[in-house]
Amino acid sequence: MEILCISGENWGWEGLWQLCPRAQSSSAENIPSRERFQSSGLRSNHPEVEDLKPKRFQVSALLSKWTKQNMWLQIFPNLGAGGGNDIQWCFSQVKGAVDDDVAEADIISTVEFNHSGELLATGDKGGRVVIFQQEQENKTQSHSRGEYNVYSTFQSHEPEFDYLKSLEIEEKINKIRWLPQKNAAQFLLSTNDKTIKLWKISERDKRPEGYNLKEEDGRYRDPTTVTTLRVPVFRPMDLMVEASPRRIFANAHTYHINSISINSDYETYLSADDLRINLWHLEITDRSFNIVDIKPANMEELTEVITAAEFHPNSCNTFVYSSSKGTIRLCDMRASALCDRHSKLFEEPEDPSNRSFFSEIISSISDVKFSHSGRYMMTRDYLSVKIWDLNMENRPVETYQVHEYLRSKLCSLYENDCIFDKFECCWNGSDSIVMTGSYNNFFRMFDRNTKRDITLEASRENNKPRTVLKPRKVCASGKRKKDEISVDSLDFNKKILHTAWHPKENIIAVATTNNLYIFQDKMN
Amino acid sequence: MFMRGLKRKCFDGEEDIEGTLAGIKAIPSYNLQRQSLLDMSLVKLQLCHMLVEPNLCRSVLIANTVRQIQEEMTQDGTWQMINMQNTGQASVDRLVSTDILCRSSREQAEGKHVPGYSTFSKDFEGDQAQDSSETMSTASSVQALRNLQSNVWEMENSQENKGNFQKSLDQIFETLENKSPNSVEDLFSEVDNSYYDLDTMLTGMMSNTKMGHCDGLEPFPSPTTTTSSSNCKSDLNELDHIVEILVES
């Protein structure tokens, strides 16, 4: 196992070492250089590093041609194969209430970075949107990136009552999507089950003063008291962030909206519910085009619903939608007005050896996301994450098991409804790592290049900033090693459904039930 | 009794089932577990029908699962047995392999190769008691479903619904679809739904199920068969009464 970074207690320098148990001698010149260290070996009394704790080794080092000294070296193992490609995740911040009593309205229902990564928006079950802003990087604090602080909070959706059906419409925010920034203001779309709203978030840090006809508090002056004229000027004021709804797109969906996606033309967007997908223009609220309709003429024949939809990041005519039967359909809007006939159908043939009564339920896709490049798309079903090449329809190019140890527990998970949990997934900025959530406040990352994966936990126990997160492991069966957790002691109420990755940097936002965790990679 | 075994089976996915005679007696039969799954699914559908806004995706998935079980039961011949209001001797074609529901089908297929007919009859005799309670619970669950159908969805069609499972499934969807009532009858059936469901909850049909808890799975126990049918009748009368009043006003 390679060691990336060491620091010598007595020496105080760093270098790259290779741990070689069979090394007979070690040598170090008195002027350490990186290259020299790379080829050195260590003699140690300890067995090869198995876990990932820092280790101390006693080494015999040649300080100079004539001096040999025994000393201690403390070694910090890294997670991956040389070059420091693997990221060490550290706790950065946690937002939200500390107590265990979770107010229903505080349950986070969506998390989304904007296109620059400077803003992070969350929506909750109470219909509120909270936006965090990253503070500008401090030159003195070069070892960590800027913190995210509350920038704006507003009530996006209110509960409604549909009198005709005698049904309450939840105000829970299902999705938030940012528009790319075109001027000083920021725009985002937020949606609940039935209505989509376009919000404008603008800053106000100046205000006009010195009106002739108005007092400072707004009362009108008696014109006869005006003796001189002056020109009003703008004076600085405390920063105020205002959110105002600019468009409300309502009454277009009979069923619950599960996805919204902004087109690459930045003028149109789609909204998808269980059976239909509509295309909107951002400027027009009283009309939308129906582009997909899978509602059967006879509702008795309904066997499949739409679970997610997204526009292609580069082709403004292409979008995909996933279904509860585990299929993804790619549609081209140029082909016809109603895209009921797909251009491509992505489906993996079922593994007959794994067939059970729950096969269909666990194959239902809960999220679909294009890669930033647009060449791949990722789908999340109950037990796995699959990466598809858009050019190959018959099977995914990569499959990653998220929590395969749950396969034997499907019966219980069906009973307590956990099998219907909808997990989301996300790409990192370079499309090399994908991330998704699991139970017990665990979340998983899969590196597509090194094929390594890691399980981390979002918990308040690792609260110190720049504390490197310890990888977790679930023990499926057999004897449990130290620090492992057995499947039966997993807390299925602590689920991480929503995660987001900064578009440019290694900063991730992970939402537990009512808390938002922000993690960063360790900067040296 | 067998419920406990069932729960254990769900957690102990690793247990090795050889299909031995002793094994068959100790482990709940596949039929029973499948039946439990069917009951659980029906309860879930019923409960989500009660919700203000049922999650359509979840309902579709559960209904598909129910359909799948029904198809398999039809193939096995066990469904016919139930539909005939079974009069005693069950016409079981073959002993369904004993296996757990969560296991893969390949393992199930291997388990299906149970040794020949001589052991079959021995087992069947031994399991007869279990089977009859099985069928009783099956019958009770079907009757419960019929009760649900006849009282919850379309009162006029209650006679037609008997013995027609597929139609009941369809009605679930119709009702889900008809959450926007166009007709006066639909409006009444909406009112009736909530009333009836509350009633059934109170009378204990639903009290065994614990949504959202891993406490254990309990299919409709046989004792409620008689009570539910009497409730059914009284409920029907009460519902008629309500309809009358609504119509008059």
Q: Which of A37-46, A395-404, B14-23, B219-228 has the lowest mean pLDDT?
A: A37-46
Please report the pLDDT score of residue A59 as a whole number: 52
Question: Which one of A96-105, A416-425, B27-36, B153-162 scores highest in mean pLDDT?
Answer: A416-425
| Cβ proximity of A187 and A170 under 8 Å | no
- Inspect the interface and report whether the beta carbons of A412 and B10 lie closer than 8 Å: yes
Section A358-370 average pLDDT? 96
A49-70 pLDDT, tens digit per residue, is: 444 455 555 555 554 455 555 5
Question: If you count residue pairs, one on A and one on B, with CB atoms under 8 Å apart, how many are there?
Answer: 113
**Averaged pLDDT, A238-264:** 95
State the average pLDDT over residues A176-195.
96
Task: Give the range with max mean pLDDT: A368-382, A473-487, B42-56.
Answer: A368-382
Structure tokens at A210: 């010195």
> Stretch A370-392: mean pLDDT, rounded?
96
- A462 or A75: which leads in pLDDT: A462
Which residues have C-beta within 8 Å of that of residue B195, sequence separation ≥ 6? B238, B239, B242
Q: Tell me which of A360-374, A424-438, A460-474 is least confident.
A: A460-474
Q: Closest partner residue to A354 among B61, B68, B104, by Cβ?
A: B104
pLDDT tier, B121 (very low <50, low <70, confident <90, very high otherwise) = very low
Q: How far apart are the first and last CA of chain A?
A: 21
B12 CA to chain A: closest CA distance, Å?
A: 8
With an 8 Å Cβ cutoff, are B61 and A420 in contact? yes
pLDDT at position A429 is 93
| pLDDT at A463 exceeding the cut of 80 | no
Q: How far apart are CA A260 and CA A173, in angstroms?
A: 11
Residue A331's DSSP bridge partners are A319
| DSSP string covering A148-210 | EEEEEEEE----EEETTTTEEEP----EEEEPPP-SSSEEEEEE-SS-EEEEEEEEEEEEEE-
pLDDT given at position B137:
43
CB of B182 less than 8 A from some CB of A: no
pLDDT of residue A465: 78
Q: Is the pLDDT of residue A181 over 60?
A: yes
Residues 6+ apart with CB under 8 A from A277: A270, A271, A290, A291, A292, A293, A306, A309, A319, A321, A339
Q: What is the mean pLDDT of residues B70-77?
A: 86
B61 touching chain A per CB within 8 A: yes
> What pLDDT is recorded for position A358?
94
B187 pLDDT above the threshold of 90 = no
Query: Looking at residue B146, what is its pLDDT?
Result: 43
- pLDDT value at residue A401: 96
Residue B60: which of A305, A410, A411 has the nearest Cβ? A305
Q: Percent of chain A scored above 70 by pLDDT?
A: 82
**Using one digit for the tens of pLDDT, what is the confidence trace for A378-387?**
999 999 999 9
Alpha carbon of B27: minimum distance to chain A alpha carbons (Å): 16
Note the pLDDT of residue A317.
Answer: 95
B17 contacts chain A (CB < 8 A)? no
Cβ-based interface (< 8 Å): residues of A facing B: 164-170, 193, 255-256, 274-275, 299-300, 302-305, 307, 324, 352-358, 360-361, 364, 407-412, 414-417, 420, 477, 488, 492
- Residue-level pLDDT at A89: 92
Q: Please name which of A132, A130, A185 lies closest in space to residue A156, comparing C-alpha atoms.
A: A130
Query: Which segment of A94-98, A115-119, A153-157, B129-133 scores lowest on mean pLDDT?
Result: B129-133
Q: Of the candidates B216, B239, B240, B246, which has an alpha carbon nearest to the alpha carbon of residue B5?
A: B216
What mean pLDDT value characterizes chain A?
A: 84
- Min mean pLDDT across A93-97, A165-169, B61-65, B235-239 is at B235-239
Which among A165, A302, A356 has CB closest to B102?
Answer: A356
- Helix axis angle, B224-248 relative to B117-148, nearest 10°? 20
CB-CB neighbors (< 8 A) of A304 in chain B: 60
pLDDT band at A476 (very low <50, low <70, confident <90, very high): confident
Q: Which of residues 19-38 of B touch A (CB under 8 A)?
A: 34, 37
Q: For residues B92 and A206, which has the higher predicted lDDT (pLDDT)?
A: A206
| Block residue for tokens 């309502």 | A250
- Which candidate in B61, B72, B99, B100 is best for mutational testing of the A interface (most A CBs within 10 A)? B61
CA distance A353 to A357: 12
Q: How far is CA B40 from CA B125, B179, B209, in A?
A: 28, 24, 8
What pLDDT was estimated at residue B177?
Answer: 52
Q: Mean of the pLDDT values across residues A195-207?
A: 94
A130-148: pLDDT as tens digits:
999 999 876 555 666 789 9
Interface touch B104/A356, C-beta < 8 Å: yes
> What pLDDT score does A81 carry?
33
- Range A430-446 average pLDDT: 96
Pick from A411, A418, A421, A439 the residue to mutate for testing the B interface (most B CBs within 10 Å): A411
Residue B240 pairs in a beta bridge with none
Contact state of B64 with A303 under an 8 Å Cβ cutoff: yes
Mutation target among A414, A480, A486 for the B interface, most CBs of B within 10 A: A414
Return the pLDDT at A162. Answer: 81
Which pLDDT score is estimated for B107? 44
pLDDT for A467: 82
pLDDT of residue B123: 39
Q: Are B99 and B31 in contact (CB under 8 A)?
A: no
To the nearest whole Å, the CA of B132 is away from the closest chain A CA by: 24
pLDDT of residue A382: 97
pLDDT tens-digit series, residues A296-326 = 999 989 999 999 999 999 999 999 999 999 9
Element (H, E) at B184: helix B184-203
Q: Is the pLDDT of residue B115 over 80?
A: no
The answer to whether the CB atoms of B56 and A477 lie below 8 A apart is no
Give the distance from residue B101's alpha carbon to the nearest chain A alpha carbon, in angstroms: 7
Rounded to the nearest integer, the mean pLDDT of chain B is 51
Which residue in chain B is spatially nearest to A407 when comparing CA positions?
B102
Q: What span, in angstroms and rounded, lies between the C-alpha atoms of B174 and B59?
A: 12
Of the residues B57, B182, B217, the best mutation for testing chain A's interface (the one with the most A CB atoms within 10 Å of its CB) is B57
**A420/chain B closest Cα distance in angstroms:** 7
* pLDDT number for residue A297: 94
